[in-house]
Amino acid sequence: MMRIAVAGTGYVGLVAGVCFAEKGHDVTCVDVDEAKVKMMASGVTPIYEEGLQELMQKNNAAGRLHYTTDYREAYRDKDAIFIGVGTPEQPDGSANLSYIATVSRQIAESVERDCLVVVKSTVPVGTNDKVEQFIHDFLERDVKVEVASNPEFLAQGSAVHDTLHAARIIIGTESKEAEALLKKIYEPFGLPIVSVNRRSAEMIKYACNDFLALKISYMNDIANLCELVGADIDAVAEGMSYDARIGANFLKAGIGYGGSCFPKDTKALKYLANQHGYRLKTVEAAVDVNLAQKTRLYEKACQRMITFQGLKVAVLGLAFKPGTDDLREAPSLDNVELLLKGGARITAYDPVAAVNFEKRYPAGENGRGSIAYVNTPKEALTGANICFVFTEWQEIKEIAPGMFKELMKNPLVYDGRNVFDVQAMKDAGIEYYSIGR
């Protein structure tokens, strides 16, 4: 058993802390928000993630998981301190490292024994070098502190599973001692470990995320061309998926990627390249395609409709993907904003993310339009003039085509996730538009 502290209790930090405790380590999660700390101590997670609350409650009860706002006590005598705070995007595309800097200084002022500081947050290449120097600059005691890189590769909606059953663990270290300690921490996971230097580990994270973002944008670009030439993107993707060099994942066309990683990481790597006098043209293209893709269905609908003023618009799905309540860079945000400006009366359904969405767009009058939040897809569809699908939740996928015909005033559906079968919708008498089909 290792004694571990985790700075930050967002998607990265909290999931890591809970999973470390599940594997037998003694873990203290640190956050500045006292109310959040009390919530977690009571066994309630501040984020929605499948299986997370159950594991949290289990390890709380076992005494392996603790929460505090007292960073000095938390960092004082730990074997390893993991940094999992946010690195939000700045207006120029660069990563905001202020939270990393704050935690680094707190660690320097608190540690009373030799320890390893591990950066799990996604940071630009070279940041770990700066973190180590920064900590050394502010150390208050004669102790040895090394810094390692350990990027996360979890996907929101399956973060717990992705952590406990990862394809590989990436560790970036500059000494055999640091490498050995990280391997010991991850030994109970029984997963393959790829050990590289720090800068390579930092780059692996960006290279992976940006490659997947590029793959999504490529498929969306091909889908748009499929519409023009009469091909079916689903059939094209199936044919591609059998090629082992391409693989079957991330071939699904839609209205673009969102979330906390792909948008931020593509822009950050683009910024990093520019800072070194180099243009990553492929990454730039992925960013441009995704930006245009998000509102492609809205633009299609504008060609069909004279106006949205006073129309009842059903919106099915608000989260950027199923399995999470995260709205960061969700296509629903762009589209709802445009619909409200156009005077639409929106009825929105999402099984998890509606609470977060309502914080941004309160129920009632919004601009020229209005928005209401409902508890079932049926309520959203009843009397609607038009429907947009933005997230492929299972509850939405299970809607029978006939329900659109039965409930909507005008069975007009714009499906941004290619949830429904084209022929089945046609047979049900629905005017149906999707992506690349």
Residues carrying an active site annotation? 261
Sheet holding 145-149, edge to edge: 65-68, 26-30, 3-7, 80-83, 115-119, 145-149, 169-172, 193-196
Cα-based distances in Å from 192 to 79, 164, 167, 168, 392: 22, 12, 7, 5, 32
Q: Give just the sign of the alpha carbon dihedral 300, 305, 306, 312.
A: negative
CB 314 within 8 A of CB 339: no
CA distance 85 to 95: 12
Name 413's bridge partners: 387, 432
Both tokens of residue 343? Answer: 């005077």
CB 393 within 8 A of CB 317: yes
Amino acid making up residue 11: Y
Both tokens of residue 200? Answer: 């390579």
Q: What is the DSSP letter of 77?
A: T
CA distance 353 to 87: 22
Sequential DSSP letters for 111-154: --S-EEEEE-S---TTHHHHHHHHHHHH--SS--EEEEE-----
Q: Name 52's Cβ contacts closer than 8 Å, sequence gap at least 6.
A: 14, 15, 18, 45, 159, 160
Sequential DSSP letters for 364-394: EEETTEEEEE-SSHHHHHTT-SEEEE----H
Cα-based distances in Å from 185 to 13, 23, 35, 204, 426: 16, 9, 30, 21, 55
CB 429 within 8 A of CB 411: yes
Both tokens of residue 346? Answer: 């929106």
Biggest distance spanned by C-alpha atoms of the chain: 76
As a whole number of Å, the end-to-end CA separation of the chain is 54
CB 305 within 8 A of CB 343: no
Three-class DSSP category at 418 = coil
